[in-house]
Amino acid sequence: MKLKVKILKFLAGRPVCMIHEKTAEQMSLHVGDRVSIKKRDKKIISIIDTASGIINPYEIAVSNTIVENLKLKKGDAVNVEITSRPQSIHLIREKLKGKELKKAEIEEIINDISRNALTEPEIAFFISAVYNKGMSLNETKNLIQAMVQTGSQIKLRGKVADKHSIGGVAGNRTTPIIVSICSTVGLIMPKTSSRAITSAAGTADTIETIAKVDFSIKEIKNILKKTNACFVWGGALKLAPADDKIIKIGRIIKIDATAQLLASILSKKISVDSKYVLIDIPYGKSAKVTKRQAEKLKIKFLKLGKKFGLKIGVILTDGSQPIGNGVGPVLEMIDVIKVLQRQNPPKDLEEKSIMLAGKLLEMTGKVKKGNGIKLATQILYSGKALKKFEQIIKVQKGKVENFKKLKPGKYNHIIKTKRKTKIKHINNKLINSLARQLGCPEDKSAGIYLYKKANQTVEKGDKILTIYATSKEKLEHAKKFYNKNKKEIVEFG
C-alpha cells in the first residue's frame, strides 16, 4: 500500500515506523509485524507500531534511520508491504539446538541482521546460541566473511597494517603511539576505533580531545594519502554493520562468545583491507582473560589468519593492572603525548608501545626479526613518531598548540595511603567503573591519575591516585563509589 511519509525525529537508532490503527487494520498488520518500506529501488525493513492521534490514516511516521536510508522527505510516497518472518529465525533455532551452520545459512542470518530484518530479541537468541553452542573454525570464518560482505569496504594499496587489543586494561592507550611509529616507515595504518562501551575511554574518545574522528570513507582515503595513517571513529562507517548490531545487543548481558570476539575484530580489519594484524591479548587478574584463555584465543587467531591469507601476530601481555598513569580521554591523551614528546613518560606505556610497534615492524618486513624494538625505539626517540602524530592530528583538523592545553577536570580529590605498605593489585574493572562514575567517556576531562603500580612500596601519606570530575556532584558520587569499593580498587598488603 502507498503511504505518505511523516518524519518523526525518533532517535531510536534502528528502523521504527508507525501507521494509523485504521490503516493497520486495513492492511491486516499488527504491532511488531515486519514491513518493507520501499522508495524506488531502495528498500528497508522495519518493525511496525500503530498509533492514532499523532498520525493520520494512510500516513507512515518513520524514524531517522529510515529517513536516512531511503533519503526521504516529508510527504514522499513510499510503498509499504508486510514481509514474512525471515527464514533466518529458523536457522537461529537450529543453532540454539546445536546444529553447525553452513556458509549460506550464516550469510542469511548476518544479511538479515545487517538489513534490519531481525529484531533485538531475535539477535539475542542468535548471540545466546553462539555463546552456548560455540562455533567451529569454519563457522567463524564464514561469520567473518558474511560480516565483511554485508558492510562497506575500503580498498587500499601498500602494506596495510593494523593493531588491536582485546581490551580490558584501563589506560592502555598504546595505539596512537604504535601507529605513529609504524606509519613513519611507510606502513599504511587505517586505524578505526570504537568509542568506549564499558571502559573509561576508547581510542576514538581519546583522539577526540585534540582532533576530529568522525570522517566518511572518502575523507579517510584522503587522510591516508597525506599521512599513511589515521585515527578515526569506525561507528558510522558501516564496516561490518552486523557486528555493530550484535555488539549492541550482546553488551546488555556482557557475555563474550569467543567466535563473536574473533569475528568482531577480524571483520573490521578485513573491511579496511589490512594485510598484517597485530593482536594484543592482555591477560591476568582483573583482565578480560586468563593466561590459558589467552593462549587458546591466540591459536584461533592464527588459524583464522591463515584461512584469510592475513598475516596475524599475537602477543600475550601482562593485563593484571592499568597501563600508564592516566585513565579517561584527556588523561590518556596526556600520557600519549608525554611518551611521544619524551617528557616524563609513563614507563610501562612507553615500553609496551615500543614492544608492539617493534613486533609489527618485524611482521611487515620493515626490519629483520629481532631488530624491531631497536627500530621502534629509534623512531620514537628521534622525534619522528611525534612529527608523524602531529601531522595526522593536523590533517584530522586538530591543533598541535592545543596539546599543552589538555587539562583534567577542575574538581579533584586525592587519595593517600594511611600507612607504610605495599601495593598488591590495582583492579582494571573497578578503575574503569570509577572512571565511568566520574563521567567518562562523555566527560572527556574526567578520569583518574594513578601514581603507583602493583608491587611498589608506599610510605604513609603517599599519593595513590587523584580523581578528576567536571562537577562537584559527579566528584561526590565517585567518592562514594570509591569508598564503597576501596578495598578492591587498590589492594594493599
Nearest distance from C-beta of residue 253 to a second copy, angstroms: 5
| Total residues interacting with a second copy, rule: CB under 8 A | 40
Residue found under cell 509485524: 33
Q: Is 9 in the site for a second copy (CB under 8 A)?
A: yes
Q: Is 45 in the site for a second copy (CB under 8 A)?
A: no
Look up residue 339 and give its amino acid. Answer: V
Nearest distance from C-beta of residue 283 to a second copy, angstroms: 20
Choose among 276, 267, 452: nearest CA to 347. Answer: 452
- Among residues 1, 89, 156, 400, which is the contact residue for a second copy, using CB under 8 A? 89
Nearer to a second copy, 7 or 454 (CB): 7
Nearest distance from C-beta of residue 20 to a second copy, angstroms: 10
- Among residues 197, 236, 252, 299, which is the contact residue for a second copy, using CB under 8 A? 252
Nearest distance from C-beta of residue 367 to a second copy, angstroms: 44
Nearest distance from C-beta of residue 34 to a second copy, angstroms: 11
Nearer to a second copy, 18 or 262 (CB): 18
Q: 3-state DSSP call for residue 342?
A: coil
- Among residues 40, 155, 218, 254, which is the contact residue for a second copy, using CB under 8 A? 254
Q: Is 236 in the site for a second copy (CB under 8 A)?
A: no
Residue 256 annotated among the catalytic residues of the structure: yes
Q: Is 129 in the site for a second copy (CB under 8 A)?
A: yes
Nearest distance from C-beta of residue 52 to a second copy, angstroms: 5
Q: Is 293 in the site for a second copy (CB under 8 A)?
A: no
Q: What are the start-end ranges of the E strands in 285-386?
A: 311-318, 326-327
Q: Is 459 in the site for a second copy (CB under 8 A)?
A: no
Q: What are the start-end ranges of the E strands in 319-383?
A: 326-327
- Among residues 131, 351, 406, 463, which is the contact residue for a second copy, using CB under 8 A? 131
Choose among 436, 412, 406, 229: nearest CA to 333. Answer: 406
Q: Is 197 in the site for a second copy (CB under 8 A)?
A: no
Nearest distance from C-beta of residue 293 to a second copy, angstroms: 14
**What value does the CA radius of gyration of the chain take, rounded to a whole number of Å?**
24
Q: Is 119 in the site for a second copy (CB under 8 A)?
A: yes
CA atoms of 429 and 287, how far apart (whole Å) = 8
Look up residue 216 and give its amino acid. Answer: S
Residue found under cell 529484531: 119
Name the one range near a second copy by CB under 8 A: 93-101, 221-229, 320-328, 397-405.
93-101
Choose among 196, 161, 202, 167: nearest CA to 179. Answer: 161
Name the one range near a second copy by CB under 8 A: 192-200, 251-259, 385-393, 482-490.
251-259
Contact 167, 317 (CB under 8 A): no
- Among residues 105, 108, 122, 350, which is the contact residue for a second copy, using CB under 8 A? 122
Nearer to a second copy, 49 or 59 (CB): 49
Nearer to a second copy, 79 or 128 (CB): 128
Nearest distance from C-beta of residue 21 to a second copy, angstroms: 7
CA atoms of 416 and 465, how far apart (whole Å) = 7
Q: Is 73 in the site for a second copy (CB under 8 A)?
A: no
CA atoms of 413 and 420, how far apart (whole Å) = 21
Nearer to a second copy, 94 or 351 (CB): 94
Q: Is 31 in the site for a second copy (CB under 8 A)?
A: yes
CA atoms of 203 and 201, how far apart (whole Å) = 7
How many alpha carbons lie under 13 Å from residue 288 in its C-beta half-sphere?
22
Contact 101, 94 (CB under 8 A): yes
- Which string of b and e fits 303-340 if b means at least 16 CB within 10 Å? ebbeebebbbbbbbbebbbbbbbbbbbbbbbbbbbbbb
Nearer to a second copy, 85 or 225 (CB): 85
Nearer to a second copy, 65 or 317 (CB): 65
Q: Is 93 in the site for a second copy (CB under 8 A)?
A: yes
- Among residues 36, 38, 52, 303, which is the contact residue for a second copy, using CB under 8 A? 52
Task: Identify the burial level of 284 via C-beta atoms within 10 angstroms of its C-beta, where 0-12 means exposed, 13-18 middle and 19 or more buried.
Answer: buried
Choose among 395, 388, 394, 391: nearest CA to 222. Answer: 395
Nearer to a second copy, 68 or 459 (CB): 68
Element spanning 276, H or E:
strand 276-283
Q: Is 123 in the site for a second copy (CB under 8 A)?
A: yes
How many alpha carbons lie under 13 Å from residue 413 in its C-beta half-sphere?
19
Question: In the chain, how many H helices and how many E strands?
Answer: 18, 18
Contact 37, 46 (CB under 8 A): yes
- Among residues 54, 77, 197, 414, which is the contact residue for a second copy, using CB under 8 A? 54
Nearest distance from C-beta of residue 133 to a second copy, angstroms: 8
CA atoms of 286 and 433, how far apart (whole Å) = 12
Nearest distance from C-beta of residue 128 to a second copy, angstroms: 3
Q: Is 53 in the site for a second copy (CB under 8 A)?
A: yes
403 DSSP assignment: G
Candidates 256, 273, 348, 462; catalytic one: 256
Q: Which residues are catalytic?
A: 256
| Footprint on this chain of a second copy (rule: CB under 8 A) | 7-13, 18, 21, 31-32, 49-54, 89, 92-93, 96-97, 119-125, 127-129, 131-133, 249, 252-255
